[in-house]
């Protein structure tokens, strides 16, 4: 049931974000994660403390699944100072070092070399952390 709740929470969040975008309350672009919730919830179910994530512009679901506060994510989307990037990153450019979420990236596939760099850092440090570099739209 916990996985279902996570998927539903992401879906409802994205529906609200889409509504706010349509009303002009979210500036710039707003790429929603609707229909892909199971992917991130399934992968987050196997992560452990210290694993890192990096993704592309369709990133809200990743933020929520890794434990970022929905209020902070929504504050960022609406350009408020209480957002994860102080309201300046918007939909595609927020991150949380505390949650090991190294951002969504607006350039297609830009996250792949960053994910490889995170993975190399893990290997170099001799830890067993995993770097998840999400890409693609389905």
> Is 63 part of any domain?
yes
Residues 61-103: tens digit of each pLDDT = 999 999 999 999 999 999 999 999 999 989 989 889 999 999 8
> Is 138 part of any domain?
no
- Summarize the confidence of residues 6-24 as an average pLDDT: 98
For Cα atoms 66, 30, 78, give the angle at the middle one, nearest 5 degrees. Answer: 80
pLDDT band for 136, please (50, 70, 90 cuts): confident
CA atoms 135, 82, 96, 114: torsion sign: positive
**Which CATH number do you get for residue 6?**
3.40.50.970
> Is 117 part of any domain?
yes
Paired tokens of 130: 């995993």
> Is 33 part of any domain?
yes
The closest alpha carbon to 31, from 108, 113, 85, belongs to 108
Total number of domains constituting the chain:
1
Q: Is the pLDDT of residue 138 over 80?
A: no
């Amino acid at each position: 049931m916990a996985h279902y709740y996570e998927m539903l929470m992401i879906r409802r969040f994205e529906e609200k974000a889409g509504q706010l975008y349509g009303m002009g309350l979210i500036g710039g672009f707003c790429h929603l994660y609707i229909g892909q919730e199971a992917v991130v919830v399934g992968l987050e179910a196997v992560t452990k403390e210290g694993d890192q994530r990096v993704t592309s512009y369709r990133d809200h679901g990743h933020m929520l699944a890794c434990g970022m506060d929905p209020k902070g994510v929504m504050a960022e989307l609406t350009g408020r100072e209480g957002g994860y990037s102080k309201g300046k990153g918007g939909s595609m450019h927020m991150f949380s070092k505390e949650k090991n979420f190294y951002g969504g990236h607006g350039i297609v596939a830009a996250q792949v070399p960053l994910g490889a760099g995170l993975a190399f850092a893990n290997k170099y440090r001799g830890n067993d952390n995993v770097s998840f570099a999400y890409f693609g739209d389905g």
